[in-house]
Amino acid sequence: MSDKIEFFKEAVQNLKTVGTLAHSSKAAVKKMLEPIDFETADFIVEFGAGNGNITKELLAKMKKDSTLLSFEINDKFCLALREINDPRLKVIEDSAEKLGLYLEKYGRSKTDHIVSALPLVVLPKPLYRNILDQINEHLAEYGYFTQIQYSLTSRKELKRRFKEMDTKFVPNNLPPAVVYVCQGSAS
């Protein structure tokens, strides 16, 4: 059975944690990955990896000696991620709010970039804030945080938390999406 059908079935059953019914389009993934300099990135974090749609694109662009930490809480999606045969991929079946703990486990205090497909707008406010705190604390100053969303709801909060924040509209995604490109903690 195709990845898209499996994704849809899992999304229907767990919409609040999956956040969408369809994979991000190629155009949306391209917008999310555009700011990343893959030639210099040694360590990248992915939040809300799903069944690997964005993960596979990240791995295709990453250097051979780099690391990708992919956070996903859905056990079926984690099984699909573990089937990706790439030693650079570390699947973390845990909440993104524990980023610091896992970075420490891999001998890091910062990550070069964070790519996220988390459904921020449906997360409980304390969890939402904790995740953003972790991003602000552990994203390298030069690094980018890219976030796909289906509304402008998070715009104000992201603008407050980052020195730079750009909004890219992706009409050829189902549903149409917004990609936030953020850099530099404002705190």
The whole-number pLDDT of residue 16 equals 43
Question: 186 versus 12: which is more confidently predicted?
Answer: 186
Torsion sign (Cα): 33, 50, 117, 168? positive
Residue 174 has pLDDT above 90, yes or no: no
pLDDT digits (tens, 9 = 90+) for 110-158: 999 999 999 998 899 999 999 999 999 999 999 999 999 999 999 999 9
Q: Is the peptide bond before 119 cis (omega within 30 degrees of 0)?
A: no
| Burial call 31-57: b when 16+ CB within 10 Å, e when fewer | bbbebbeeeebebbbbbbbbbbbbbbb
Please, which residues have CB within 8 angstroms of residue 82's CB and are 6 or more apart in sequence?
91
Global pTM reads 0.89
What pLDDT shows up at residue 17?
43
pLDDT band at 10 (very low <50, low <70, confident <90, very high): very low
The CA-atom distances, in angstroms, between 136 and each of 6, 92, 130, 161 are 33, 20, 10, 7
pLDDT digits (tens, 9 = 90+) for 15-72: 444 344 455 789 999 999 999 999 999 999 999 999 899 999 999 999 999 999 999 9
Q: Which tens digit of pLDDT belongs to each residue from 83-111?
A: 999 999 999 999 999 999 999 999 999 99
